[in-house]
Structure 1
Amino acid sequence: MDEGSVTSMARIGFIGLGIMGSPMAANLLSSGHEVTGYDRSTDRLDQLERAGGVRAASAGAAVSAADVVITMLPDSPDVAAVAGEITAHGRPGQLWIDTSSIAPATARAVAAAAPMPAVDAPVSGGEQSARDGTLSVMAGGPAEAFARARPLLDVVGGTVVHVGGPGAGQTVKLANQLIVAGVIELVAEAIVFLEAHGVDTDAAVRVLAGGLAGNAVLDRKAAGMLARSFTPGFRVDLHHKDLGNLAAAARDAGVAIPLGAVVAQLIGALRARGHGGLDHTALLLLVEELSGLGKAA
């Protein structure tokens, strides 16, 4: 592959085929790219093969077969571990795009150690946006590396923006997670409030979504919250991790996040009650418990 661009057909090594990674890899396959994937789950590798991809025996094998390495992993230690495989099996002519959500400091460290240019490109939008190829992608890294990554990011994302140097994408993602957690908590409180007063909540959500209170959580998540359906699109465990990274980054910068700290405590309390595997909208359960209307444990 020409190091100055991504051709119309790229050989991609995709590591991490979970809730977000699998549909992202499928969209890349549908766009004509070759995808060799690795995941610890055999079922996910079977799914990749059914979509037309090739399974790799290891992360290192996926890296060796690729022009572009894409990672979508749960946390900073996972990315750091795979970074070792990338260092061992990678080469300077490749490109690494990490779409995981990790600590900005980790993103900068692994990019500096990688043998190839790296872009930290965390995403937002959840599973449905991953399936639709309409994720919001906030990318950090050298401008030249972003330009190479852009054609592939455009396949998985509807909004793709270069926000700065190494680690900047992860910093913007933490701001995203701060806002999302706060909005989910407020929507949860509003729903419990409305239900306690016997209001037609479906009608209430429709009118709220059409005014200044309108937001993506009301549009995409309120129906599931009203139905008490918390099948994960984004797990409480992962949001808890992100808010921990946010707190550390805010402390390093000397920035106060008082409301963010409160929501982080609520997410932590929900997780401590055994609900880390539920969707983050399960904050509604905790609001009910605090209101004496339910029990989150």
Structure 2
Amino acid sequence: MANVGFVGLGDMGSRMVPHLLNAQHRVFVFDILRERMDAMTTLGAVAADSPAAVARKADVVVSAVMSADIPAAHLGPEGILAGMRAGAALAVVSTMTPASLQSIASAMPAGAHLVDAPLIGGVRYASEASLTVLLAGEGEAMALTEPILARFGKVARVGPLGSGVAYKLITNVVVMAAEAGLREALDLADILGCSYQTTLELLARGPMAAVVKRALDRDNPRPVRDSARDFDVLLAAGGEDNLPISAAGRRRLWDAANAATPPPVFVDLTSHSTALPRFRSGSSQKSRS
């Protein structure tokens, strides 16, 4: 079995590491939050004190940090690349821009391999090892990383380095529009004085059925803020002028993300806690049941 490094133990990473442990890999982990590492070491992982320390131990490193954390996790004296050695491989599964990937690629140590391998699917899919992994890179790099990435679900080889990032952003245009569109449909229900329950039941009978099912899944606790950040990445890559629907959707999801305390998760998009301000929970204006 391989020595595998894993950096980033948030909602997704914490559900992916157990699959590696169950496959008898030796897994070295790092996260900026100690309690996340402790949860993984309880399962059998080995904690490291930096991303570089993870990479020094690993044949394959999987990076699953949020897009804003990519520079700190990968670059600099304590970043992953500082610990990479010739023959080892790095798989970046984060949603990111082509520019972010290029910043990593240009700093890779000689002889080390890089793939971009973004994920399609949420927390439930990570728990069930049913993610789709969009694997991109040169042949040897993909051959090294695919057996590890296959532990998380189905691997789809999508082309040369950068193709995974590109196709992830392309698919996110539709996914993110559906998320914002669901919230806006319920906004209109509020404006017209209609029932959320009836609205969702009717949407679930048509082509939005999968979106509604996902939105109501309480076992898929994706923070709305993470969806809003994915919109930020999408628009950084494509430009607001070129993607006006995505630009409008981002504004609506950020409004929803900031609407409630504690921060709302995805299922809250179907409640009044993320409604337009005058219709939020506690308001005197309520929709008809």
Q: TM-score, normalised on structure 2?
A: 0.83
Kindly indicate whether the alpha-carbon contact (under 8 Å) linking 1:177 and 1:239 is maintained by their aligned counterparts in 2.
no
Amino acid aligned to 1:141: G
Aligned partner of residue 113 in structure 1, secondary structure = coil
Kindly indicate whether the alpha-carbon contact (under 8 Å) linking 1:111 and 1:117 is maintained by their aligned counterparts in 2.
no
Kindly indicate whether the alpha-carbon contact (under 8 Å) linking 2:133 and 2:149 is maintained by their aligned counterparts in 1.
yes
Find the partner of 1:236 among 224, 228, 231: 224
Q: 1:21 maps to which residue?
A: 13
Amino acid aligned to 2:212: L
Q: 1:148 maps to which residue?
A: 144
Amino acid aligned to 1:214: A
Amino acid aligned to 1:171: A
Pair 1:40 & 2:32 matched = yes
Find the partner of 2:66 among 65, 74, 79: 74
Whole-angstrom distance in 1 between the partners of 2:161 and 2:34: 33
Unaligned runs of 5+ in 2: 284-289
Identity of aligned pairs, percent? 29
Q: 2:264 maps to which residue?
A: 278
Kindly indicate whether the alpha-carbon contact (under 8 Å) linking 2:105 and 2:114 is maintained by their aligned counterparts in 1.
yes
Q: 2:113 maps to which residue?
A: 117
Aligned partner of residue 134 in structure 2, secondary structure = strand
Evaluate the alpha carbon distance shift between residue 273 and residue 176 of structure 1 in structure 2; reply closer, same or farther with a 3 A threshold.
Answer: same
Unaligned runs of 5+ in 1: 1-8, 225-230
CA RMSD of aligned residues (A): 2.8
Kindly indicate whether the alpha-carbon contact (under 8 Å) linking 2:7 and 2:31 is maintained by their aligned counterparts in 1.
yes
Pair 1:183 & 2:178 matched = yes
Evaluate the alpha carbon distance shift between residue 103 and residue 219 of structure 1 in structure 2; reply closer, same or farther with a 3 A threshold.
Answer: same
Aligned partner of residue 106 in structure 2, secondary structure = helix
The 5 Å alignment of 1:140-289 reads 140-157=136-153, 159-191=154-186, 196-198=193-195, 201=198, 205=200, 208-215=203-210, 217-222=211-216, 233-251=221-239, 256-273=242-259, 277-284=263-270, 285=272, 288-289=275-276
Q: Mean alpha-carbon deviation: is it higher for 192-201 or for 162-171?
A: 192-201
Whole-angstrom distance in 2 between the partners of 1:279 and 1:59: 28
Deviations along 1:41-91, whole A, 9 cap, x unmatched? Answer: 221112111211111122221111111111110124x22222222332211
Number of aligned pairs? 275
Kindly indicate whether the alpha-carbon contact (under 8 Å) linking 2:7 and 2:62 is maintained by their aligned counterparts in 1.
yes
Aligned partner of residue 148 in structure 1, secondary structure = helix
Whole-angstrom distance in 2 between the partners of 1:246 and 1:278: 21
Kindly indicate whether the alpha-carbon contact (under 8 Å) linking 2:180 and 2:253 is maintained by their aligned counterparts in 1.
no
Whole-angstrom distance in 1 between the partners of 2:113 and 2:62: 12
Q: 2:286 maps to which residue?
A: none
Find the partner of 1:104 among 92, 98, 101: 98
Amino acid aligned to 2:120: S
Amino acid aligned to 2:230: D
Kindly indicate whether the alpha-carbon contact (under 8 Å) linking 2:37 and 2:47 is maintained by their aligned counterparts in 1.
yes
Q: CA deviation at 1:28?
A: 0.8
